[in-house]
């Protein structure tokens, strides 16, 4: 946190006259209020006086640094005053104070006042610096003096790094589909790179636990630029009229420096919100059609995962606690406890396809698309066609499953897009009934006609794919496990990884899914667990291949790998991709192949080592994990050269 970032011309007073200490603090608070950093002037002033009662902040040599902290402060800030005639401040050396800095720290910023106090204290020990401040002819001279002294003392070299007044210079939003690792890694990297260069930044994360560190209206208003590094849709209307860089979350991890360079430059396009949930406005980076499709798909997947994970694990527990011998045909429902888990888990799992379709449609068509997509997903799951609608029909419904839900999501979204264009021609007086009447009625009707019409075709494709997977055995099954396991390591959370994961998850939705479907999911998960574990093993047993910092962070990958968080390997892969990636891909492929060979099955799409109890053939699954991770670690040790 730089001192110059917390000051602005409205918060600096020169040639101030003060009667006494109370008057000096009052005038400093008035300057702070002009800067717009505080929400409640009286409450903030009370906090400053309360601090003074604990002991004087007059540190001697004519300098005082009073400070206040609490909910009354919205944004960290400083005000400064030069008092030529001096004022009695009860200073430690008894001398009058003629240079005063007042600090404002929000309650959430635990250390901001300590950071500023530390920097100020070091700078103010320089008599030449304080003399220049006291002799400043204008507020611009005062700020320039602080800026130059700070650069000279702390090595700040970016001459243009003053933030926009009253806030963070750069704001950012990071989000990935699952919200587990990419989101927070991108945020941390952006924060670290900005800190290295003395640039103030605040990053909002939209992860699995919801939005954290949310950006406020005041911060957005005063920011110079906003970086939106996301792989799913986030709230964009709030950035209307601001310079915005829209990019993928991976760039926040790998290209943080370039993003910050662009953000502090003057050529970032102004963003204009068009009312669409996937709107990219006039951002300087236009997304390709493929990336938009990927974002829509991942928006559905990210909302679907909690239902699949929660429901899948409860269903797996039902089989774990049941007794197969009571009634093999009713396995999973033979005991009261098993029936409870199976019923609750089944209900949660049943939402998977509607939620997937609903949120894909919402990503494309905004809120009106949600209901249309949900209905399409239910119709796909039920396998309804024109020939089996009647209760007496002899035609058995065939679910179009995951493929049908994907189709329903995209069709539902674009139905709303088309309806919007058509209804734009209606009188303005009908605007209010569009979202509550026209969009849902017309959208659901059209969706019903489309899905009931295409369900036979998609259902046949879905059935054919499942029959093909069920027929796989021997070498072909092992090869599939190797391919899926390897894909989980190719880009560690990117499109290849997500494609393999979505394919594995889709198998869990198959009606009357058999061992083959569960084995595919097991191979996918083990492939994603290997990269972090391989790196952790390599940093433990081949220390000379890594720097000290890499060895320290390598140990964390034991937890990441066992938790099925592949992204823990990204920093290592990014720093040495030609050696790390091949090692991880081969290790994951071996683990996936062995998982298939050992016929290990998994009914839950996540959990890592924590769901080992519900994995069929668990000991052999652990053996496959150990072998794959060890092979990856050994290959990495061979390919990487010892560090000097």
What radius of gyration do the chain's Cα atoms show?
30
* Cβ burial 246-263 (10 Å sphere, 16+ → b, else e): bbbbbbbbbbbeebbebb
- The reported pLDDT for the residue numbered 395 is 65
pTM of the model: 0.58
- The reported pLDDT for the residue numbered 265 is 75
Question: Which of 76-80, 328-332, 434-438, 508-512 is predicted with the least confidence, judged by mean pLDDT?
Answer: 508-512
User: Could you tell me which residues come within 8 angstroms of residue 399 by beta carbon, excluding any fewer than 6 positions away?
Assistant: 380, 381, 382, 383, 459, 462, 511
- The reported pLDDT for the residue numbered 214 is 86
- The reported pLDDT for the residue numbered 162 is 43
Q: What is the pLDDT of residues 454-513, one digit of tens each?
A: 988 888 887 787 777 667 767 888 999 999 999 998 877 777 887 888 888 877 777 666
Q: What is the pLDDT of residues 496-546, one digit of tens each?
A: 887 888 888 877 777 666 677 889 989 999 999 999 999 999 999 988 888
Is there a catalytic annotation at residue 584?
Answer: no
| Most confident stretch, 137-146, 151-160, 602-611 | 137-146
Q: What is the pLDDT of residues 162-213, one digit of tens each?
A: 444 456 889 999 987 665 667 777 888 888 888 877 788 999 988 766 788 8
Q: What is the pLDDT of residues 9-68, one digit of tens each?
A: 888 999 999 999 999 999 999 999 888 888 888 999 999 998 888 888 887 888 888 888
| Most confident stretch, 58-72, 143-157, 524-538, 543-557 | 524-538
Mean pLDDT of 103-130: 70
Identify the bridge partners of residue 81 per DSSP, sorted by sequence position. 13, 100
- Can you name the CATH fold of 3-154? Mannitol-specific EII; Chain A (3.40.930)
Is there a catalytic annotation at residue 182?
Answer: no
Q: What is the pLDDT of residues 344-402, one digit of tens each?
A: 988 888 888 899 999 999 988 888 899 999 999 999 888 888 877 776 566 677 778 88
Domain ranges of the chain: 3-154, 170-287, 291-468, 474-639
Is the per-residue pLDDT at 160 higher than 50? no
285 pLDDT band, cuts 50/70/90, is: very low
Q: How far apart are CA 312 and CA 129, in angstroms?
A: 65
Question: Which of 116-120, 326-330, 446-450, 521-525 is predicted with the least confidence, judged by mean pLDDT?
Answer: 116-120
- The reported pLDDT for the residue numbered 45 is 92
Q: Report helix, strand or coil for 491.
A: coil
Mean pLDDT of 575-598: 91
Q: How far apart are CA 566 and CA 523, in angstroms?
A: 14
**Active-site residue (options: 113, 145, 176, 584):** 176
Evaluate whether 571 touches 188 at the Cβ level (below 8 Å): no
593 pLDDT band, cuts 50/70/90, is: very high
User: How much is the mean pLDDT over the chain?
Assistant: 83
627 pLDDT band, cuts 50/70/90, is: very high
Higher pLDDT, 323 or 451: 451
Question: Which of 270-284, 295-309, 324-338 is predicted with the least confidence, judged by mean pLDDT?
Answer: 270-284
HEC readout, 417-436: HHHHHHHCCCCHHHHHHHHH
Q: Scanning the structure block, which residue is given the tokens 């295409």?
A: 454
User: What is the helix (H) or strand (E) element at residue 211, kind and residue range?
Assistant: strand 210-212
**Active-site residue (options: 67, 182, 296, 303):** 67
- What single string gives the DSSP state of each residue in 90-130? --TT-PPEEEEEEEEEETT-TTHHHHHHHHHHHHHT-HHHH
- The reported pLDDT for the residue numbered 23 is 92
What is the percent of the chain where pLDDT is above 70? 89
What is the percent of the chain where pLDDT is above 90? 23
Q: What is the CATH number of domain 170-287?
A: 3.40.50.2300
- The reported pLDDT for the residue numbered 444 is 94
- The reported pLDDT for the residue numbered 197 is 77
- The reported pLDDT for the residue numbered 156 is 47
């Amino acid at each position: 946190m730089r001192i110059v970032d917390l000051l602005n011309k409205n918060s600096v007073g020169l040639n101030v006259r003060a009667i006494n200490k109370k008057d000096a603090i009052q005038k400093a608070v008035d300057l702070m209020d002009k800067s717009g950093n505080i929400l409640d002037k009286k409450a903030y002033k009370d906090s400053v006086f309360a601090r003074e009662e604990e002991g004087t902040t007059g540190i001697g040599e004519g300098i005082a640094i009073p400070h206040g902290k609490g909910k009354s402060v919205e944004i960290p800030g400083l005000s400064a005053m030069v008092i030529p005639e001096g004022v009695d401040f009860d200073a430690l050396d008894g001398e009058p104070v003629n240079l005063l800095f007042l600090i404002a720290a929000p309650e959430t910023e635990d250390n901001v006042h300590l950071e500023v106090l530390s920097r100020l204290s070091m700078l103010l020990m320089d008599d030449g610096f304080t003399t220049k401040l006291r002799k400043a002819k204008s507020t611009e001279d005062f700020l320039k003096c602080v800026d130059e002294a700070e650069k000279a003392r702390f090595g700040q070299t970016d001459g243009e790094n003053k933030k926009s007044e009253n806030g963070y210079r750069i704001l950012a939003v990071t989000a990935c589909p699952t919200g587990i690792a990419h989101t927070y890694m991108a945020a941390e990297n952006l924060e670290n790179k900005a800190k290295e260069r003395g640039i103030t930044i605040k990053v909002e994360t939209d992860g699995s636990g919801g939005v954290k560190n949310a950006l406020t209206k005041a911060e957005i208003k005063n920011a110079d630029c906003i970086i939106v590094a996301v792989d799913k849709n986030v709230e964009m209307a709030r950035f209307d009229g601001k310079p915005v860089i829209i990019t993928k979350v991976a760039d926040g991890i790998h290209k943080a420096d370039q993003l910050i360079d662009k953000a502090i430059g003057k050529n970032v396009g102004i963003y204009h919100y068009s009312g669409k949930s996937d709107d990219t406005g006039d951002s300087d980076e236009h997304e390709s059609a493929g990336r938009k499709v990927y974002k829509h798909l991942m928006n559905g997947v990210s909302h679907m995962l909690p239902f699949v994970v929660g429901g899948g694990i409860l269903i797996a527990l039902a089989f774990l606690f049941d007794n197969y011998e009571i009634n093999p045909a009713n396995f999973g429902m033979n005991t009261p406890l098993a029936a409870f888990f199976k019923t609750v888990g089944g209900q949660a799992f049943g939402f998977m396809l509607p939620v997937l379709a609903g949120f894909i449609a919402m990503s494309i068509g905004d809120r009106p698309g949600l209901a249309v997509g949900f209905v399409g997903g239910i119709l796909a799951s039920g396998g309804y066609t024109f020939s089996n609608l009647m209760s007496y029909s002899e035609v058995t419904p065939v679910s179009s499953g995951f493929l049908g839900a994907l189709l329903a999501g995209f069709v539902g979204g674009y139905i709303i897009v088309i309806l919007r264009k058509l209804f734009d021609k209606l009188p303005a007086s009908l605007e209010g009934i569009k979202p509550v009447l026209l969009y849902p009625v017309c959208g659901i009707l059209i969706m019903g006609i489309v899905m009931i019409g295409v369900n036979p075709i998609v259902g046949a494709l879905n059935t054919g794919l499942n029959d093909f997977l069920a027929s796989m055995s021997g070498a072909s099954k092992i090869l599939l496990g190797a391919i899926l396991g390897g894909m989980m390591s190719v880009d560690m959370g990117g499109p290849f990884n997500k494609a393999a994961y979505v394919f594995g998850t889709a198998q869990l939705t198959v009606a009357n899914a058999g061992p083959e479907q569960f084995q595919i999911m097991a191979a996918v998960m083990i492939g994603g667990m290997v990269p972090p574990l391989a790196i952790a093993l390599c940093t433990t047993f081949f220390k000379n291949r890594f720097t000290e910092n890499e060895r320290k962070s390598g140990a964390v990958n034991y937890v990441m790998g066992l938790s099925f968080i592949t992204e823990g390997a990204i920093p290592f892969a990014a720093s040495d991709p030609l050696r790390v990636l091949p090692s991880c891909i081969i290790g994951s492929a071996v683990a996936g192949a062995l998982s298939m060979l050992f016929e290990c099955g998994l009914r839950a799409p996540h959990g890592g080592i924590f769901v080992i109890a519900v994995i069929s053939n668990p000991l052999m699954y652990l053996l496959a994990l150990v072998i794959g991770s060890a092979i990856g670690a050994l290959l990495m040790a061979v390919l990487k050269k010892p560090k000097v």
